[in-house]
Amino acid sequence: KRTNPSVWKNIGKLPVRGFLILLVLTAAVTSYGIANLDEMNKPITGSSEAPDGIDSLNSLAEYSRQFSSGQTSLFIYDATERPNLNGTENIRDLPVLDSMDEIEGAIDQVDETATTSIITFLKTIPATITLTEGVTVGDGSLWDLLHDPCWDSEEILDLNCPGWTLIPVSEREALRKDMVNVAFDTLSEEVRSMLLNENGDKAIVYVTQPYMNLNVAGELRDEIDGILGEGPTLLNTRTSLLTGGLPVSLDINDGIHDTQSKTTIITLLVLTVLLAIVFRSPRLGIYTMIPVAVVILWQPLLMQSGDVNVNIFTAMIGTIVFGIGVDDAIHVMHRIQEEGESPHGMASAIEETGQTIFETTITTVSGIGAGFLAAFPGLENFFMLMCLLIIFAFLTSSFLLPAIITAEHVVRAKINGHPSWIDFGDGIAVGQPDVMKSLDAIVIDD
């Protein structure tokens, strides 16, 4: 049998003699971890998962800074249910276009946000009507001309509308509708397909924003969805909520965070029940899971580093640590059962099993450490967290678990008025009768 270094004999007694210090220190660190659980809600950023030096990523960042764009979302303006009373496609009806412009104007007021739609084209087309030689109407964009108040002026001598008297009032509405139709029809098929559906009763509005932190982007998205949720004021028209790359990324971000929390809680409950069955004791099942749960609550402290991001790798690390950390706790608990729940028994369990777990921890961390050579920052964070949490799992399983059991026995001894439970005696382990091992004895006559 391999002999353990003598230092482990002294180490094995530390959790028993210093159980109170260990519990207070663990409680303080764990409380701080719970207070910083928000660190686990950091936004998931694609840049943290990409290697450094990617030209396309750098170009995208530069484009985003210079043009305040880069992320394009969209929503649909739907006029399908609006009665067609003007003899034209629903989306070409001027009240519909005005309603679209009103929605876009509200969205344009959101920080870092701009919209593009068929309205944008109408506002960029210059338009002037020559009524007769030397008499023209309009000197701005087609959109401005379509909304000139003189269309509704019926006064022949209206000084604010010179030249409009040459256009009969009865023909003005038809002329305005023709101008809209001409503008739509002059657009190429490719452009129209990007802005309108084939039936001409739905329009796409593009919403552009620069690349930004998902927390900020999420607030802007909620503000935009609030506007779209209220819908247009025009009857029988509606708008969809924002969709596209950014909203999908935000929903994935929320989904991963929710999954991270749910899987951690489910894993904790399932393992606790299984361990209670394995050890035939709910008490031992709960005690075995406490060291692993504590390690999970320490993860937010590691996430405080500015270089550590929540990503698709680090988000699922909790369940992985459960699988590794619970092995350490099971080995220690089994050894304690064999040696007996006595001061000497637990010290012996740590001396024997603690060294073995320490060796397996070192080899596991050394193997995982090769991941630091990966070019992906997201993977580097993952391997770093894995290594640290595996080391923490060794510490809590080998030291916190015996300290918890010691605390229970010390409290029971004080309540029952028994002498101090922490007594190593002469190195003889007085354990429970059902776990005591028989020894062969030989009587030698003098």
Asked if 398 contacts 354 with a C-beta cutoff of 8 angstroms, the reply is yes
Kindly report which listed range (145-149, 162-166, 264-268) carries the lowest average pLDDT score.
162-166
Q: What's the confidence (pLDDT) of residue 436?
A: 45
Q: What letter represents residue 4's amino acid?
A: N
Write out pLDDT tens, residues 64-80. 777 777 788 999 999 99
Q: What letter represents residue 148's amino acid?
A: D
Write out pLDDT tens, residues 298-318. 888 877 765 566 666 666 677
135, β-bridge pairs: 132
pLDDT, mean of residues 268-295 = 89
Asked if 239 contacts 106 with a C-beta cutoff of 8 angstroms, the reply is no
74, β-bridge pairs: 206, 243
Phi-psi region of 428 (alpha: psi -120 to 50; beta: other; left: phi over 0): beta
Residue 141 CB partners (closer than 8 Å, separation 6+):
122, 123, 124, 125, 126, 127
Asked if 101 contacts 119 with a C-beta cutoff of 8 angstroms, the reply is yes
Q: Counting Cβ atoms within 10 Å, is residue 389 exposed (0-12), middle (13-18) or buried (19+)?
A: buried
Q: What's the confidence (pLDDT) of residue 99?
A: 92
Question: What's the CA gap between 340 and 421, in Å, rounded?
Answer: 14
Structure confidence at residue 434 as a pLDDT band (50, 70, 90): very low
Q: What's the confidence (pLDDT) of residue 74?
A: 92
Asked if 307 contacts 378 with a C-beta cutoff of 8 angstroms, the reply is no
CATH architecture for segment(s) 6-35+251-435: Up-down Bundle (1.20)
User: Residue 440, Cβ neighbours under 10 Å: how many?
Assistant: 4
Q: What's the confidence (pLDDT) of residue 204?
A: 93
pLDDT, mean of residues 290-297 = 88
What does each C-alpha distance from 407 to 77, 293, 401, 413, 422 come to in angstroms?
66, 18, 10, 10, 10
What does each C-alpha distance from 100 to 222, 246, 311 come to in angstroms?
19, 22, 38
By residue count, the chain amounts to: 446
Asked if 247 contacts 261 with a C-beta cutoff of 8 angstroms, the reply is no
DSSP annotation of 82: S
Q: Counting Cβ atoms within 10 Å, is residue 73 exposed (0-12), middle (13-18) or buried (19+)?
A: buried
Nearest of 82, 75, 73 to residue 229 by alpha carbon: 75
CA angle, corner 289, sides to 285 and 295, nearest 5?
175
Q: Give the number of C-alpha atoms closer than 13 A to the C-alpha of residue 184, restricted to the C-beta side.
A: 23
Write out pLDDT tens, residues 184-243. 888 888 888 899 998 888 999 999 888 877 778 888 999 999 999 998 888 889 999 999
Structure confidence at residue 430 as a pLDDT band (50, 70, 90): very low
CA angle, corner 359, sides to 345 and 284, nearest 5?
40
pLDDT, mean of residues 135-164 = 72
Name the residue with higher pLDDT: 128 or 433.
128
Question: What's the CA gap between 240 and 286, in Å, rounded?
Answer: 49
Q: Where along the chain do its domains lie?
A: 6-35+251-435, 64-241
